[in-house]
Amino acid sequence: MGFFLPSAFAEPVDSETGRDIFYKHCKACHGGKGDGKTFAANVLNPTPKNFTHEESKKELTEKRMIESVTKGRKGTAMMPWESNLTKDEISAVVSYIRKVLM
Ligand code: HEC
């Protein structure tokens, strides 16, 4: 692009973006429905979070999810995404999970 745009004019990151990010980066482990029933889950310990489970709905606040996606979960396959995704992208994918999958 070669020119600077103040962030106020940056493209809004919407739920479609959240879905794209989820399909691209998260689906392999968490599954298209977010239930964590994936091939990858067979070899992961702990297993990927099942977002559709009642426990997850209670346990996972938006704040915690953003924190976990940003920083990862120590000692698990859930890696930190802060160097791959912007803050807006992380909150877009978290709100996609919350609105559509949970
Ligand atoms: C390589 C497999 C893998 C990929 C890819 C992956 N995750 Fe995870 N994710 C995990 C595992 C394993 C856990 C369970 C961690 C635990 O038990 O603490 C987890 C847990 C989570 C949690 C719950 C964390 C918590 O606080 O308990 C969220 C939210 C999450 N993932 C979001 C995402 C998002 C968003 C992406 C894509 C940007 C993603 N994950 C990509 C494996 C993965």
CA-closest candidate to residue 13, choices 82, 93, 76, 72: 93
Determine if ligand 1 sits within 6 Å of the CB of residue 78. yes
| Cα distance from N-terminal residue to C-terminal residue, the chain | 37
Residue identifier of the C-alpha nearest atom 20 of ligand 1: 49
Determine if ligand 1 sits within 6 Å of the CB of residue 90. no
Mean pLDDT of 15-29: 94
Contacts (Cβ under 8 Å, ≥6 apart) of 83: none
* Per-residue pLDDT tens digits for 40-71: 999 999 999 999 999 999 999 999 999 999 99
What number of other Cβ atoms are within 10 A of residue 87's Cβ?
11
User: Torsion-angle region of residue 31: left (phi > 0), alpha (psi -120 to 50) or beta?
Assistant: left
Average pLDDT score, the chain: 91
User: Torsion-angle region of residue 51: left (phi > 0), alpha (psi -120 to 50) or beta?
Assistant: alpha
Determine if ligand 1 sits within 6 Å of the CB of residue 48. yes
